Structure 1
Amino acid sequence: MNGYDIIDEAVVDAPTDVVWNALVAEFRGAAAWWVPHNTFETVTGAPDVVGGEVAVTVHTKGVDNGGLKLRFTARTRSVEPGRRLSVEYVDGVFRGPSDFILEPLDDGRRTRVSMHFRGRPHGKLKLISKVADIGAEHSKATLAAFAALDKRLAKGVRAR
C-alpha cells in the first residue's frame, strides 16, 4: 500500500470557535480529548501558525499501557482560523498532508469537524502496514477522539 486517503467526521455540539480553540489547545499539548490514543507536543512555533511543528505520538495500547509508540512530526502549512488547519507530516512514521476542517451547522450552534488524512507509512510503520489495517485503526482513534471532544464540550468544558 502506498498510503491512506481517509476522511473521518463527526458533529460536535458546540460552536465552531469553541471547537477550534479545543483543537488548537489539543495540538499544544492539552491532552484533553485525543487521549488515550494520541498525544501532542509543540516542537517549534505554534500549531495554528504556518511553520509551527507538533510532535505526535500514537499510543497503540493507550497512554501508559505499554505497547508500540508511533511518532511523527506535523508542520502547519496553512491556517484559516476557525475553519481549517492544514499540516504536512514531515518526519517519523508518516509523510504527507492532512486537513482539519470545521463547518458551522444549525446557525452556528453545532460544528461538523473532519480530518482528511492522506499520510503514507514510513520506516517501521511501512512494514507494520503490510500486516495491520492502519487505516481502520486511524479512523477508529480519530472518531473516538471526536466523540470525546463532543462529550467534553457538551458538558461545557472549554479548552485550556
Structure 2
Amino acid sequence: MTTYDLIDEAVIDAPADDVWEALVSEFRGAKQWWVPHNTFTAVSGAPDAVGGEVGVTVHTRGFDKGGLKLRFTSRTVAVERGRRLDVEYVSGVFRGPGSFVLEPLADGRTRIAMHFTGSPHGWLKVLAKVADLGAEHSKGTLAAFESLNRRLSGVRR
C-alpha cells in the first residue's frame, strides 16, 4: 500500500497569530489562499477545536475547472492555539494523520509546516500506482503557502 509521509514548509512574512487566523479561516471555508488547489468546508464543530470536522476537496485541475475532485474529511485531534493543529483524515480518499505547525521566528515572521501522513483509499489507490500524488500534494501545498505569504506579507504588528 502507498503511504505518503510529506513535510512541506515555508516562511510567512507575518506574525504567527495572523498566520493561525488565516489557517483556521481557510478551514472554515474562506477560500482566500489555498484556492485553486484545495477548498475546505466546516462539516461539524470548529476546525480549531478537538472533534471539529472539515471537508477537504482537492481540485486536480483547479477550482471550477473540471477534472477529478479528491474528497476527504479531517477531524481535529489536538490543538495548541497559535502553534499547532493536529488532524486525522477519517473518511474519503485519504486516511491517516496530519499536522500544521507554526513557529514564530525572531524577526516577526512565521515558519509554517504541514506534515501529511496519509494513505489513499478506494479508487485513489489505483491512481496512486500511476501518478505521483505526493509530488502533486507538495506542489499544491507550497503554492498555497506562497499565496498565504502574499496575502499576509503586509500584515505586521
TM bucket normalised to smaller: over 0.9
The CA deviation string for residues 126-160 of structure 1, in whole angstroms up to 9 with x for no partner, is: 1100000000000000000000000000144xxxx
**Aligned residue for 1:81?**
81
Instruction: Find out whether 1:68 has 2:68 as its counterpart.
Output: yes
Aligned residues: 156
| TM-score for both structures, normalised by structure 2 | 0.97
8 Å Cα contact 2:8-2:142 kept in structure 1: yes
Partner of 1:106, secondary structure, is coil
Q: Which amino acid aligns with 1:117?
A: F
Q: Which amino acid aligns with 1:45?
A: G
Instruction: Find out whether 1:111 has 2:110 as its counterpart.
Output: yes
What percentage of aligned pairs have identical amino acids?
Answer: 70
CA distance in 1 between counterparts of 2:49 and 2:111 reads 22
CA distance in 2 between counterparts of 1:14 and 1:118 reads 27
Q: Kindly state the Cα deviation for residue 106 of structure 1 after the two structures are TM-superposed.
A: 2.1
8 Å Cα contact 2:42-2:54 kept in structure 1: yes
Partner of 2:9, secondary structure, is strand
**Aligned residue for 1:150?**
149
Instruction: Find out whether 1:139 has 2:125 as its counterpart.
Output: no
**Aligned residue for 1:126?**
125
Q: Which amino acid aligns with 2:25?
A: A
**Aligned residue for 1:53?**
53
CA distance in 2 between counterparts of 1:69 and 1:155 reads 33
Q: Which segments of 5 or more consecutive residues in structure 1 lack a partner in the other structure?
A: none
The CA deviation string for residues 23-63 of structure 1, in whole angstroms up to 9 with x for no partner, is: 00000000000000000000000000000000000000000
Q: Kindly state the Cα deviation for residue 78 of structure 1 after the two structures are TM-superposed.
A: 0.3
**Aligned residue for 1:20?**
20
The CA deviation string for residues 67-95 of structure 1, in whole angstroms up to 9 with x for no partner, is: 00000000000000000000000000000
**What CA RMSD, in Å, does the superposition of the two structures yield over aligned residues?**
1.1
| TM-score for both structures, normalised by structure 1 | 0.95
CA distance in 1 between counterparts of 2:23 and 2:124 reads 26
Q: Which amino acid aligns with 2:111?
A: R
**Aligned residue for 2:92?**
92
Q: Which amino acid aligns with 1:104?
A: P
**Aligned residue for 1:36?**
36
